[in-house]
């Protein structure tokens, strides 16, 4: 694989009139073509969905038209961004070019760009926006739950808010770490100049953005009542807003599968000389483990949603009991994707924590191989546990001991991660910079999440907890406490490298402490509410539980305020103050910190040669173990 | 402040404004609900606390431009029909309900709901005749408040009726009149719904209007 | 390798025996915590003593909490210990020891966690089978069926109401779930439309209601009390409102009650379909458009 034939970045002609610059393949064209495609699909849908489909014409709901409209809209959007140009030029026999649109300037952030660092920044901002949209939904949900009777949110809208919050977070945040940080840092860490498939890399981002807008557009079509799980046959009954969910998740699935494929391709084929598998930074390993899950699990989701879309439009009966289908089929297919999905969310968190802790403890990563096997073990095991979501459903009841065992076994490789963290902390020289604070909080949060998971994996105790707030608290501890804390650790750790600017330390500390305390204050009482028998996804509950619910709601608002502090810090530090960051503020030995800021388009003038892993910290002792002990030679 | 920062600031302010507008729209969407109609505003001549309701096969463009062909309830206030399913009734009192039923029968999925329950005397009157139950397959809609134990099946207008009403307003068309009284009891916010799979065009007739407040679902506020 | 290891060796105080100190800390906290978990927290978690199954679940909760306690204290107090003792001096640039692993610790950890996991799984399986499914929906043909006489009760879920049918009492259907005390009840859960879940919290019963499926759970009420039945699976707009009450009464009171219902609900019972484990009402396509 040649890395030297890089097209020189074409300088942007300055002084062209604005109208001339607006012509061409850019975001404006993309939006226009997207809207055009939407109405084209809508028109075709109404054309073909004629009187032969009696179910559809009896009402103003036309699922065929909306599904086609979304599909054509997305295709138009991607063509407008220029994703068709390269395939067409190849079809016309033009020579292959390696990369495109790698100009300087802010414009490259608003279009197809094949520079993995630009895509990383695009992901960071794009996902951040949708993360806050999802968070605002949660604020509305908690505001409604201040009182045990329905107050200001209508019951239909309440379920739509719950669904949008869950779907947005589960869909968008799957790429929450892989999108910004893996795209940005994996090529740097393995000594590559680009990703294996740079255009696909950009495609995954723009697919995700299109998906996000489609999901929020559900409120124009009546919302959807199913939550993020989209269980059939409720899915089949729902109004057109359900189609937004289906298209959203299908696009996310495609984006995830492509992202995973790209990461696997890059990590397998594009490592620099000397970057052996046993020297791979642990973050890259976690990305690799996640990528395996993405490639294997996401297509299942897309197929399931296609079946659901067929059930909704042309009255197939994959999931309808009366027609030979089964509601169990959807549950099985969905969770066969859905359980790996939650590890897709958790694994990058593991990677970030293990990558950062050695830097702040000034020690090598303790138990590197154990950590790798832990992550690969979680990755593999996560395909064998999905039926624990169906413990009380009555399907395969005799197999429950197996799923109980497999679910509990998955805590063994997860335990490896804890051991590695604890081993690295042993006799460490810890400094408590903000990224380290988030890492330490992760240990506590994921511990609570993991232990509550054991209670849920046990059928007798799960009987009382399934479908209750306990489950909700559990997965918020693992996903928010695991992934989002890792996500913020990564932001505070790496953004100074990505932007060359430093965050305000005091605001960052306020953000951390408020977030950590409010997070625990929000979700610990939810365990109690679940144990007291409060089901999930309800807007009314027993009046006796109002006190705890109010406590949770107020804590949730404080959690929201901590996020506002973060936004304020971003605006204040990165836009107004713009204090340049030190070249290597954390004294990290990882290669990305040895590169100049900003990192040049091609990353390395010469491809680096590695002769150790990046955890070369610490005073060698005569205790057993010990790595190569030689300094890493960074390229550049 | 550099030019770049100024540009970025401008974009941020524009984004914040746009975000605020979107936020207002979402808030308006999330909180939009049909108005609440009080039973105590009924004229004294009608016997005090009275709810007068109507069920129609399609709500029609006059009342719902977005879903004109959805099946729906309407309620009368001051002689006018209003498209709402949220009612309020006084606590600890007898409430009289009249339902003019203009829709054709669909049939119940659970025949158990064809028996009248929870009314005073355990009966209701259909076109002046007192009954305790109706044939399940002749049911067109139900008016059920599960938490108050009120179960009212509504018989449909026979398919062969001459001047069947296509969409609201339906006054004057063929209909059945159901009357009953119930004791409202404790204060609270209860939901009520229809149990007949009457939503044409949705799987098993159970989607759309069957799951939307303002059509076949609503709140009964006992205040 | 810029800074650190040369930094002022004289100023670093001799390291105390951290292994011993932490082991003592962990043992002491665990020994203090365990009785609290067993006697104070244990009885509070779990759904109470409404039935044999919910009491069983309470025991299981306590056992799992006891197993989790040492893990919790280990990690939490390790974290605290590390934060207090393993820190960089103010403004220092010291490096930690370059230890990259410890084979014995790793092996021990793997063995202990695996054994704990196996123990939990074996315990869970044994309790599940011994308690006849522990109140969980166990499918149409449960593996373990309790011996002795059982009162069959059918739970019919539909959007958005639970109704209950007593096949041994002429198939009468009611809106209230009344059960005789100290009687093994065979709950058959089914749905007429979407997926619901029958959850009687105080009785420790939860079973999903799937259309076309007969999901059986066993429960033996042991306490005269009223309880709430809720839906535990998102089923549409009134999911949160899909609850009603039930009562556990003496067998004599149950006999009186069921006969009252048979009389009162005779008109409805007459038109009900024959009792069956599942019902699949034909999908209605009404008013086909011209």
Residue B170 buriedness (CB in 10 A; 0-12 / 13-18 / 19+): buried
Q: What's the confidence (pLDDT) of residue A102? A: 62
pLDDT of residue A305: 95
Beta-carbon separation of C195 and A231 below 8 A: yes
The answer to whether C157 and C199 are in contact (CB under 8 A) is no
Taking CB atoms and an 8 Å cutoff, what residues of chain C touch B122? Answer: 264
Check CB contact under 8 Å for A397 and C3. Answer: no
Of B31, B201, B206, the CB nearest to A59: B201
Q: Are B192 and B217 in contact (CB under 8 A)?
A: yes
pLDDT of A627:
42
Strand partners of residue B124: B131
Tens-place pLDDT, residues A428-486: 999 999 999 999 999 999 999 999 999 999 999 999 999 999 999 999 999 999 999 99
Q: Are C163 and B112 in contact (CB under 8 A)?
A: yes
Helix (H, G, I), strand (E, B) or coil at A97: coil
CB contact under 8 A, C287 and B211: no
Average pLDDT over residues C61-82: 94
Report pLDDT for C94: 87
| Chains touching C (3+ CB pairs < 8 Å) | A, B
**Cβ–Cβ contact C237 with B under 8 A:** yes
Q: For position C144, what pLDDT does the model report? A: 86
- Nearest-Cα residue of chain A relative to residue C191: A321
For residue C72, give the nearest of A404, A415, A447 by CB distance: A447
Where is C60: in which H helix or E strand?
helix C52-85
Which of B55, B135, B146, B161 is best to mutate for the C interface (most C CBs within 10 A)?
B146
> Where is A455: in which H helix or E strand?
helix A434-457
* Rounded alpha-carbon distances, angstroms, from residue C31 to A477, C44, C71: 27, 20, 13
pLDDT at C221: 95
At residue C246, the pLDDT reads: 93
Smallest CA–CA distance, residue C262 to chain A, in Å, is 31
Of B110, B132, B200, the CB nearest to C286: B200
| pLDDT of res. B60 | 84
Cis status, amide bond into B169, omega within 30 of 0 = yes
Q: Which of A42-51, A74-83, C13-22, C200-209 has the lowest mean pLDDT?
A: A42-51
Q: Which of C60, C71, C283 is the closest to A458 by Cβ?
A: C60
Q: Which chains touch A (3 or more CB pairs under 8 A)?
A: B, C
Best A226, A235, A464, A540 residue to mutate vs chain C (most C CBs within 10 Å): A464
Strand B50-56 with B94-101, pairing: parallel
Say whether residue A436 is in contact with chain C using an 8 A CB cutoff.
no
Q: What is the model's pLDDT at position A628?
A: 41
Closest CA to B140 of B170, B191, B175: B175
Q: What is the CA radius of gyration of chain C?
A: 29
Task: Quote the minimal CA–CA distance from B203 to chain A in Å.
Answer: 5
Of B5, B202, B219, the CB nearest to A237: B202
Q: Which of C231, C224, C276, C230 is nearest to C253 (CA)?
A: C224
C-alpha span between A293 and A378 (Å, rounded): 10
Contact list, C103 vs chain A (CB under 8 Å) = 624-625
Are A196 and A270 spatial neighbours (Cβ–Cβ below 8 Å)?
A: yes
Torsion from C-alpha of A53, A58, A60, A62, nearest 10 degrees: -20
Say which residues have a Cβ less than 8 Å from residue B197's Cβ, sequence separation at least 6. Answer: B106, B109, B204, B205, B206, B210, C284, C286
Give SS3 for C228: strand
d(CA B165, CA B168): 7
**Cβ–Cβ below 8 Å for B30 and A154:** yes
For position A16, what pLDDT does the model report?
Answer: 66
Q: Across the interface, do C233 and A629 touch by the CB < 8 Å criterion? A: no
Check B12 against A571: CB less than 8 A apart: yes
Q: Vertex A585, ends A583 and A589: CA angle to 5°? A: 85
Contacts of A200 (CB under 8 A, 6+ apart): A258, A261, A262
- Residue C5: the pLDDT is 44
B199-211 pLDDT tens trace: 877 877 888 899 9
Name, in order, each residue with C-beta under 8 angstroms of A560's C-beta and a sequence gap of 6 or more. A135, A136, A138, A139
Query: Which positions 49-78 of A are in contact with C (Cβ < 8 Å)?
Result: 51, 54-55, 57-58
Interface-testing mutation among A54, A57, A59, with chain B (most B C-beta atoms within 10 A): A59
Pairwise CA distance, residues A591 & A610, whole Å: 10
Cβ neighbours of B57 in A, within 8 Å: none
The confidence score (pLDDT) of residue B183 equals 92
Interface size, chain A vs chain C, as Cβ–Cβ contacts under 8 Å: 342
Q: Is C3 a residue whose pLDDT tops 50?
A: no
Pairing of the two strands C172-174 and C161-166:
antiparallel
How high is the mean pLDDT in each 10-residue block of chain A (636 residues)? 42 62 82 94 81 47 89 95 90 80 74 90 92 91 92 90 93 89 94 92 94 93 90 89 94 95 95 93 95 94 94 86 86 93 93 95 93 94 92 90 93 94 92 94 95 93 92 94 94 93 94 96 94 92 93 96 94 87 90 89 89 84 44 38
Give Cβ neighbours of residue A556 (< 8 Å, ≥ 6 apart).
A138, A139, A142, A518, A522
Q: Is the peptide bond before C160 cis (omega within 30 degrees of 0)?
A: yes
Residue from the list A157, A161, A575 with its beta carbon closest to the beta carbon of B9? A575
> What pLDDT score was predicted for residue B46?
65
Among the listed residues A630, A626, A617, the one whose alpha carbon sits nearest the alpha carbon of residue A363:
A617
Nearest-CA distance C246 → chain B (Å): 13
Scanning A262-321 for CB atoms below 8 A from C yields 320-321
pLDDT > 80? residue B8 = no
* C111-115, C123-127, C284-288: the lowest-pLDDT one: C284-288
Whether residue B44 lies within 8 A of chain A, CB to CB, comes out as no
Cβ separation A59–B208 shorter than 8 A: yes
Residues 178-217 (A) with a CB less than 8 A from some CB of C: none
pLDDT category at C4 given cuts 50, 70, 90 is very low
The answer to whether A237 contacts B1, with C-beta atoms less than 8 Å apart, is no
CA–CA dist A42, B117 (Å, integer)? 47
Give the tens place of pLDDT for each residue, C145-187: 898 899 999 999 998 999 999 999 999 999 999 999 999 999 9
| Out of C158, C264, C271, closest to residue B109 by CB | C158
Angle separating helix axes C103-130 and A400-409, nearest 10 degrees: 160
Q: Taking a C-beta distance cutoff of 8 angstroms, is the pair A461, C127 a contact?
A: no
Residues of chain A positioned with their CB less than 8 A from the CB of C211:
233, 321-322, 327
- Please name the residue of chain B whose CA is at the shortest distance from the CA of residue C162: B146
**A427 CB contacts (<8 Å, ≥6 apart)?**
A363, C15, C18, C86, C96, C97, C99
> Taking a C-beta distance cutoff of 8 angstroms, is the pair A610, A275 a contact?
yes
Residue C193 distance to chain B (closest CA, Å) = 8
Question: How confident is the model at residue A271, as a pLDDT?
Answer: 94
Q: How far apart are CA A564 and CA A213, in angstroms?
A: 22
Query: What is the ipTM for the molecules in this complex?
Result: 0.92
Pairing of strands C151-158, B150-155: unpaired
Residues of B in contact with C289 (CB under 8 A): 200
Interface touch A157/B7, C-beta < 8 Å: no
φ, ψ (nearest 5 deg) of residue C187: -90, 120
User: Cβ contact (<8 Å) for A393 and C215?
Assistant: yes
What's the pTM value of the predicted model, to 2 decimals?
A: 0.91
CA angle, corner A94, sides to A93 and A95, nearest 5? 115
| Closest CA–CA distance from residue B128 to any residue of chain A (Å) | 34
B203 at interface of A, judged by CB pairs closer than 8 A: yes
Q: Which of A153, A237, A575 sits opposite B207 (nearest CB)?
A: A237
Please, which residues 445-474 of chain A have a Cβ atom closer than 8 Å to chain C? 447, 451, 454-455, 457-464, 466-468
Please tell me if residue B167 touches chain A, with a CB cutoff of 8 Å: no
DSSP string, A363-430: SPPTTHHHHHHHHHHHHHHGGG-GGGGGTTS-TTGGGHHHHHHHHHHTHHHHHHHHHHHHHHHTT--B
- Burial-class residue C111 by CB neighbours within 10 Å (0-12, 13-18, 19+): exposed
Determine whether the interchain pair C237/B217 forms a contact, defined as Cβ–Cβ distance below 8 Å. Answer: yes
CA C146 to the chain's CA centroid: 21
Q: Please, are residues A269 and A302 in contact by the beta-carbon 8 Å criterion?
A: no
Mean pLDDT score, C49-77: 93
Q: Is B175 exposed, middle or buried (0-12, 13-18, 19+ CB in 10 A)?
A: buried
Q: What is the mean pLDDT of residues C142-146?
A: 88
Measured between alpha carbons, how far apart are the two ends of chain A, in Å? 20
Q: Is the CB of C268 less than 8 angstroms away from the CB of B195?
A: no
Nearest CA in chain C to B198: C286
Residue C1 has pLDDT above 80, yes or no: no
Q: What is the pLDDT of residue C13?
A: 61
Minimal CA–CA distance to C247: which of C188, C176, C146?
A: C176
Encode pLDDT of B167-204 as tens digits. 878 888 889 999 999 998 899 999 999 999 888 778 77
DSSP classification of residue A11: P
The Cα–Cα gap between B142 and B157 comes to: 14
Chain B residues whose CB is inside 8 A of the A60 CB are: 66-69
């Amino acid at each position: 694989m040649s890395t030297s034939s890089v097209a020189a970045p074409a300088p942007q002609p300055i002084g062209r009139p604005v109208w001339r610059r607006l012509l061409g393949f850019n975001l404006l064209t993309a939006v226009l073509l997207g809207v055009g495609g939407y109405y084209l699909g809508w028109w075709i849908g109404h054309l073909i969905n004629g009187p032969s489909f009696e179910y559809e014409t009896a009402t103003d709901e036309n699922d065929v038209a909306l599904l086609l409209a979304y599909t054509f809209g997305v295709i138009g959007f991607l063509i407008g961004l220029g994703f068709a140009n390269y395939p067409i030029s190849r079809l016309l026999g033009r020579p292959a070019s390696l990369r495109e649109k790698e100009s300087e300037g802010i414009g490259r952030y608003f279009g197809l760009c094949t520079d993995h660092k630009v895509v990383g920044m695009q992901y960071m901002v794009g996902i951040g926006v949708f993360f806050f949209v999802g968070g605002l939904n949660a604020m509305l949900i908690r505001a409604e739950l201040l009182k045990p009777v329905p107050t200001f949110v209508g019951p239909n809208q309440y379920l739509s808010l719950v669904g949008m919050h869950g779907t947005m977070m589960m869909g968008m945040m799957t790429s929450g770490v892989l999108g910004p940080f893996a795209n940005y840092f994996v090529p740097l860490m393995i000594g590559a100049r680009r990703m294996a498939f740079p255009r696909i890399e950009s495609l995954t981002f723009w697919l995700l953005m299109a998906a996000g807008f489609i999901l929020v557009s559900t409120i124009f079509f009546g919302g959807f009542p199913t939550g993020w799980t989209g269980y059939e046959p409720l899915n089949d009954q729902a109004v057109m807003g359900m189609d937004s969910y289906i298209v959203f998740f299908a696009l996310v699935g495609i984006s995830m599968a492509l992202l995973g494929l790209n990461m696997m391709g890059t990590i397998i084929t594009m490592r620099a000389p000397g970057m052996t598998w046993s020297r791979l930074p642990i973050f890259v390993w976690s990305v690799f483990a996640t990528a395996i899950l993405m490639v294997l699990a996401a297509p299942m989701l897309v197929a399931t949603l296609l079946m659901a879309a067929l059930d909704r439009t042309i009255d197939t009966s994959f999931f309808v009991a009366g027609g030979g289908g089964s509601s169990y089929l959807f549950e099985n297919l969905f969770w066969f994707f859905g359980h790996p999905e939650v590890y897709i969310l958790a694994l990058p968190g593991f990677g970030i924590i293990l990558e950062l802790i050695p830097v702040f403890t000034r020690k090598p990563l303790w138990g590197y191989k154990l950590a790798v096997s832990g992550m690969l073990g979680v990755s593999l095991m996560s395909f064998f546990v999905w039926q624990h979501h169906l413990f009380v459903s009555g399907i395969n009841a005799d197999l429950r001991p197996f799923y109980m065992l497999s679910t509990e076994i998955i805590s063994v490789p997860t335990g490896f991660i804890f051991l590695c963290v604890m081993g690295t902390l042993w006799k460490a020289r810890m400094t408590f910079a903000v990224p380290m604070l988030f890492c330490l909080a992760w240990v506590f949060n994921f511990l609570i999440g993991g232990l509550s998971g054991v209670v849920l994996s046990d059928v007798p105790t799960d009987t009382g907890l399934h479908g209750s707030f306990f489950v909700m608290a559990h997965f918020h501890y693992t996903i928010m406490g695991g992934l989002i804390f890792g996500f913020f650790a990564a932001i505070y750790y790496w953004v100074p490298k990505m932007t060359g600017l430093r965050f305000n330390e005091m605001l960052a500390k306020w953000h951390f402490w408020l977030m950590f305390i409010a997070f625990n204050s929000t979700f610990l009482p939810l365990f109690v509410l679940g144990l007291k028998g409060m089901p999930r996804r309800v807007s009314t509950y027993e009046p006796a539980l109002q006190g705890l619910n109010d406590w949770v709601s107020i804590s949730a608002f404080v959690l929201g305020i901590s996020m506002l502090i973060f936004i304020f810090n971003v605006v204040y530090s990165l836009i107004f103050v713009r204090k340049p960051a030190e070249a290597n503020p954390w004294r990290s030995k990882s290669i990305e910190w040895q590169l100049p800021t900003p990192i040049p388009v091609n990353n390395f003038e010469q491809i680096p040669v590695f002769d150790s892993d990046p955890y070369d910290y610490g005073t060698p002792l005569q205790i057993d173990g010990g790595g190569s002990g030689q300094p890493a030679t960074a390229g550049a | 402040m550099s030019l770049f920062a100024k540009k970025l600031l401008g974009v941020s302010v524009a984004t914040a404004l746009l975000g605020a507008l979107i936020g207002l729209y979402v808030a308006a969407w999330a909180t939009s609900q049909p108005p609440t109609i009080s039973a105590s505003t009924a004229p004294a001549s009608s016997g005090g606390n009275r709810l007068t309701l109507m069920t129609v096969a399609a709500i029609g463009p006059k009342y719902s431009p977005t879903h004109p062909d959805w099946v729906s309830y309407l309620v009368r206030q001051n002689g006018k029909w209003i498209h709402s399913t949220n009612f309020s009734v006084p606590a600890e009192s007898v409430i009289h309900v009249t339902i003019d039923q203009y829709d054709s029968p669909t049939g119940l999925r659970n025949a158990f709901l064809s028996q009248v329950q929870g009314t005073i005397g355990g009966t209701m009157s259909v076109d002046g005749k007192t009954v305790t139950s109706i044939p399940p397959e002749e049911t067109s809609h139900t008016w059920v408040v599960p938490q108050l134990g009120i179960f009212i099946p509504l018989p449909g207008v026979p398919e062969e009726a001459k001047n069947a009403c296509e969409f609201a307003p339906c006054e004057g068309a063929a209909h059945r009149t159901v009357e009953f009284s119930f004791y409202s009891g404790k204060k609270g916010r209860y939901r009520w719904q229809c149990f007949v799979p009457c939503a044409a065009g949705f799987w098993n007739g159970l989607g759309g209007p069957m799951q939307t407040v303002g059509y076949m679902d609503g709140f009964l506020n006992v205040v | 390798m810029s800074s650190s290891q040369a930094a002022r060796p004289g100023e670093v105080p001799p390291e105390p025996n951290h292994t011993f100190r932490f082991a003592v800390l962990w043992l002491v906290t665990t020994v203090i915590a365990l009785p609290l978990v067993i006697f104070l927290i244990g009885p509070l978690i779990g759904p109470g003593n409404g039935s044999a199954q919910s009491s069983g679940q309470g025991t299981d909760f306590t056992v799992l909490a006891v197993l989790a306690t040492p893990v919790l204290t280990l990690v939490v107090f390790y974290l605290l210990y590390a934060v207090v003792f393993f820190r960089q001096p103010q403004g220092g640039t010291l490096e930690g020891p370059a230890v990259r692993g410890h084979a014995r610790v790793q092996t021990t950890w793997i063995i202990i966690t695996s054994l704990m996991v196996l123990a939990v799984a074996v315990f869970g399986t044994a309790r599940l089978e011994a308690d006849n499914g522990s109140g969980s929906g166990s499918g149409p043909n449960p593996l373990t069926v309790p011996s002795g006489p059982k009162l069959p009760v059918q739970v019919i879920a539909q959007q958005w109401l639970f109704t209950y049918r007593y096949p041994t009492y002429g198939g009468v259907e009611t809106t209230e779930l009344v059960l005789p005390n100290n009687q093994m009840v065979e709950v058959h859960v089914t749905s007429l439309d979407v997926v619901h879940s029958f959850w009687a919290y105080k009785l420790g019963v939860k079973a999903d209601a799937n259309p076309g499926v007969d999901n059986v759970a066993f429960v033996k009420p042991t306490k005269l009390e009223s309880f709430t039945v809720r839906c535990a699976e998102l089923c549409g707009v009134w999911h949160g409102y899909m609850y009603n009450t039930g009562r556990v009464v003496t067998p004599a009171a149950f006999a009186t009650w069921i006969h009252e219902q048979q009389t009162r609900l005779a008109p409805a019972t007459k038109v009900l379909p024959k009792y069956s484990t599942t019902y699949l009402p034909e999908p209605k396509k009404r008013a086909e458009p011209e």
